[in-house]
């Protein structure tokens, strides 16, 4: 199931489902997107709320998502930032509401659990992409902001290997649905109703602040749960801010990936600019993709319907 694409002049809802967004960066990001795409924004009621490390109480954050889904004026929903807090509300989301009002849902990092829960419960395609306050309004980049174009043109998404990083881990070609997100959030979903399904899927993984031994542990959990064996191919984004305190007593991140992924002999690439990085190239989750490692191609079917 895909949501309708956007048109210039449409209203887009902005939600804070995890941590409180930086208000200065949020304002700046809204202005930049308004100027480039001519869209208007409706801010969630809790957008400036602070409840410890959360952008308001669980009820307030949950209500903000439900309000945007029910509001017929709102044509898409973009998260202001990540942080932490989304896992606290996924069990209480009205997924029948998502089915009844399928809309663009865009974000990453902590929003990974929302992507997977929505896909598992509804089949709706969602988007891993840079967020308004934590990315666009903080570290402006033409490629990052240009990724939103896919919501308007309905064209297939082609990763620009001529401008961004694309490194081979295991050669080959694979076709399949692309799923995934932030590694630590994927692991935290194991054993829940929202556990990621990787069967015959191309699995995308990235993270921030996780040193090699932690990534090693996370990948071991995915391996033990059968998620790596089930996958048909792998795309690794950056592992940002992940340098070990003592490099001489640590495997490199590349060595960790080699240990877990190379023996599977499935097409795999790493260090793509998708996730916690600048630029951050956005991709849809839940659509068909082609990964051709040797020819440096990653093409993904459009995540929206253009009428």
Active-site residue numbers? Answer: 109, 206, 276
Rounded Cα–Cα distance for residues 4 and 156 (Å): 15
Q: Which two tokens stand for residue 1?
A: 């199931």
Q: What sections of the chain are H helices per DSSP?
A: 23-37, 58-70, 95-100, 112-122, 142-146, 150-153, 183-188, 212-224, 227-230, 253-261
Rounded Cα–Cα distance for residues 141 and 143 (Å): 6
CB neighbours of 160 closer than 8 A, spacing ≥ 6? 143, 281
Tell me the CA end-to-end span of the chain in Å, nearest whole number.
15
206 with 219: CB under 8 angstroms?
A: no
Work out whether the CA dihedral 147, 239, 191, 51 comes out positive or negative.
Answer: negative
Which long-range contacts (C-beta less than 8 Å, at least 24 apart) are formed by 7-11?
7/75, 7/152, 8/37, 8/38, 8/39, 8/152, 9/38, 9/39, 9/40, 10/39, 10/40, 10/75, 10/76, 11/39, 11/40, 11/41, 11/42, 11/73, 11/74, 11/75
């Amino acid at each position: 199931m895909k949501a309708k694409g956007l048109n210039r002049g449409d209203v887009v809802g902005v939600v804070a489902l995890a941590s409180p967004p930086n208000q200065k960066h949020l304002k700046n990001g809204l202005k930049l997107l308004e100027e480039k795409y001519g869209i208007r924004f409706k801010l969630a009621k809790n957008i400036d709320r602070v409840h410890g490390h959360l952008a308001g109480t669980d009820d307030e954050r949950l209500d903000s998502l439900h309000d945007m889904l029910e509001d017929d004026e709102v044509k898409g929903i973009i998260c202001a930032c990540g942080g932490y807090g989304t896992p606290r509300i996924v069990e209480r989301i009205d997924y029948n509401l998502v089915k009844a009002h399928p809309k663009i849902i865009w974000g990453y990092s902590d929003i990974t659990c929302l992507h997977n829960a929505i896909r598992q419960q509804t089949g709706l395609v969602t988007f891993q992409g840079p967020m308004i306050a934590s990315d666009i309004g903080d570290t402006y980049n033409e490629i990052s902001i240009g990724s939103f174009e896919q919501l308007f043109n309905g064209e297939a998404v082609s990763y620009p290997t001529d401008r961004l990083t694309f490194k081979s881990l295991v050669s080959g070609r694979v076709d399949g649905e692309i799923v995934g997100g932030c590694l630590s959030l994927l692991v935290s979903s194991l054993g829940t109703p929202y556990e990621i399904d990787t069967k015959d899927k191309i699995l995308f993984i990235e993270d921030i602040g996780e040193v090699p031994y932690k990534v090693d542990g996370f990948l071991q959990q995915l391996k033990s749960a059968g998620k790596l064996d089930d996958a048909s191919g792998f795309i690794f984004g950056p592992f940002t801010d992940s340098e070990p305190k003592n490099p001489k007593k640590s495997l490199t991140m590349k060595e960790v990936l080699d240990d877990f992924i190379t023996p599977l002999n499935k097409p795999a690439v790493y260090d793509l600019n998708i996730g916690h990085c600048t630029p951050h190239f956005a991709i849809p989750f839940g659509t068909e993709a082609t990964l051709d490692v040797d020819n440096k191609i990653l093409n993904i079917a459009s995540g929206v319907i253009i009428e």
